[in-house]
Amino acid sequence: MKRAALYCRVSTIDQHPETQLGELRQFAAHRGFQIIGEYTDHGFSGTKARRPELDRMMDDARRHKFDVLLVWSCDRLARSTKHLLQTIDELNGMGIQFLSQREAIDTEGPLGRAILVIVSAMAELERCIIIERVRAGMRRARLEGRQIGRARLDVNREQVIEDRRSGMSLTQVAKRHGISRASVCRLMKEANGGANLPVPVETEERGMEAHA
């Protein structure tokens, strides 16, 4: 029975890696693999070549702790064709089989390797096209004089900072100026040069609002 490792990745902390892991566990059971390890990078972009769980998985691969690596899709392992192929080459050199469930890719044969190159190249091309469309849209918005990103707060910033430093709580300052507590914190952080410095707070809110 082959020993299998599962690797999954989600780009943001509000996504659920369990969706990928559940399908991979079923896939491994269907293929008759014994799962010996699961590696999950939570909140990491696929463009990053170094990720904590990816690095741990590759270290275990070098120690020959598993025989096959299962991923939900190729872009979970890497976004760029170069990084994906480098990783697969290293796994192949260690005699580790690579399987992608969504694309039905198996690198055990030459056909799987060829399909892998095509799929990864198309995925990278799609990503580059999306990035260029976003950049083009931003350039057009600037030319038209439209606001890009978060709108500037229509508030007396100096008064917000003065009220907060006088000892008013985050809630009191936010209500007085009609903004959110997060906006008060952001303005204070900007005023402090990016640092979260202690500010006097009211007794009933001490413990909840130690910094702004």
Q: Report, as residue numbers or ranges, the catalytic residues.
A: 11
Do 61 and 91 touch, CB atoms closer than 8 A? yes
**Block residue for tokens 């690797």:** 7
Do 12 and 19 touch, CB atoms closer than 8 A? no
Buried b (16+ CB within 10 A) or exposed e, 1-30: eeebbbbbbbeeeeeebeebbebbbebbee
Could you tell me the CA-to-CA distances from 150 to 23, 102, 131, 170 in Å, in that order? 38, 37, 20, 21
CB atoms within 10 A of CB 34: 13
Residue 121: strand, helix, or coil: helix
Q: Give the whole-angstrom CA distance, residue 189 versus residue 180.
A: 14
Do 48 and 82 touch, CB atoms closer than 8 A? no
